[in-house]
């Protein structure tokens, strides 16, 4: 059962409702400080995943090659344009900041944390990443809803579809994996989580969606390194 996915979606909806009700009572200082804390939490989650690495060359190669593929395919641009088309069809009010809503949509539905967490939960039954993300998203949605109001809650719909699809597809992949492949997959996801933290902290703007192919490559390259390349040394 996709407990982590459902919890994550619920956290965005609840956060959106609370933010729309409390928007006039939350100061800018509070918003900025909490956003910074979200970034530190993402870094902590990334570090805890990276240390699970079993084959460093495979992990590094996955990140580099996967990001190159994402950039060549303009994956982030495609996601942004697709989200923009969806938003243009929704009657959310003339005073709504669609740019901000688009940012929130990508953050909640196409972030490395959500994709990594959904795949991990589907393959291993470990929902801890999605549950930790749910805590972050509850307060992040609250902050977004201070400007976007209840429109933030609508993000739960595409989020449920995307993360749910990843969860159930991952269950088909799990029988083909090994413990080493899963640890290396988590390590690649950890790199994406670190990049997410840098984005939130505005240390460096990273095209997170373009890094998604790295997580697809992680397990095949880990298996290749373990079974083919490593025995040669």
Lowest mean pLDDT of 58-72, 124-138, 160-174, 196-210, name the range: 196-210
Distance CA 127, CA 120 (A): 7
> What percentage of the chain carries pLDDT values higher than 70?
89
Give the tokens for residue 173. Answer: 């992949």
The answer to whether the beta carbons of residues 8 and 114 sit under 8 Å apart is yes
Q: What is the predicted pLDDT for the residue at 100?
A: 64
Q: Is the pLDDT of residue 213 over 80?
A: yes
pLDDT at 63 over 70: yes
Worst-scoring range by mean pLDDT, 49-58, 85-94, 132-141, 169-178?
Answer: 85-94
Mean pLDDT of 61-77: 93
**CB burial class (10 A; 0-12, 13-18, 19+) of residue 209?**
buried
**168 contacts 122 by C-beta, under 8 angstroms:** yes
**CA-CA distance, 118 to 92, in Å (whole number)?**
29
Look over the chain and give the mean of its residue pLDDT values, rounded to a whole number: 84
- The model's pTM: 0.78
Kindly list the distances between the CA atom of residue 23 and the CA atoms of 167, 187, 220, in Å, as whole numbers in the listed order. 33, 37, 46
pLDDT band at residue 110 under the 50/70/90 scheme: low
CA-based nearest residue to 59, from 210, 212, 174, 215: 215
Closest CA relative to residue 209, chosen from 227, 196, 226, 222: 196
pLDDT score for 145? 87
Lowest mean pLDDT among 9-23, 88-102, 112-126, 182-196: 88-102
């Amino acid at each position: 059962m996709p407990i982590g996915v459902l919890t994550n979606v619920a956290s965005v909806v609840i956060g959106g409702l609370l933010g729309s009700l409390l928007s006039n009572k939350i100061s800018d200082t509070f918003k900025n400080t909490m956003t910074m804390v979200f970034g530190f939490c993402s870094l902590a989650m990334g570090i805890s995943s990276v240390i699970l690495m079993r084959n460093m060359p495979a992990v590094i190669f996955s990140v580099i090659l996967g990001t190159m593929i994402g950039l060549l395919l303009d994956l982030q641009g495609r996601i942004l344009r697709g989200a923009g088309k969806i938003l243009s069809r929704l009657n959310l009010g003339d005073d709504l900041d669609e740019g901000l809503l688009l940012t929130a949509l990508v953050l909640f539905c196409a972030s490395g944390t959500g994709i990594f967490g959904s795949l991990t939960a589907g393959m291993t039954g470990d929902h801890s990443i999605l549950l930790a993300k749910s805590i972050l998203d509850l307060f992040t949605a609250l902050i977004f809803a201070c400007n976007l109001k209840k429109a933030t809650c609508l993000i739960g719909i595409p989020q449920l579809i995307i993360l749910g699809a990843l969860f159930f597809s991952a269950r088909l992949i799990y029988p083909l994996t090994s413990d080493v492949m899963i640890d290396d997959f988590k390590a690649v996801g950890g790199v994406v989580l670190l990049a997410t933290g840098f984005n939130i902290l505005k240390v460096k703007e990273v095209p997170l969606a373009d890094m998604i192919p790295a997580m697809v490559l992680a397990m095949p390259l880990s298996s290749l390194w373990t079974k083919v390349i490593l025995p040669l040394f």
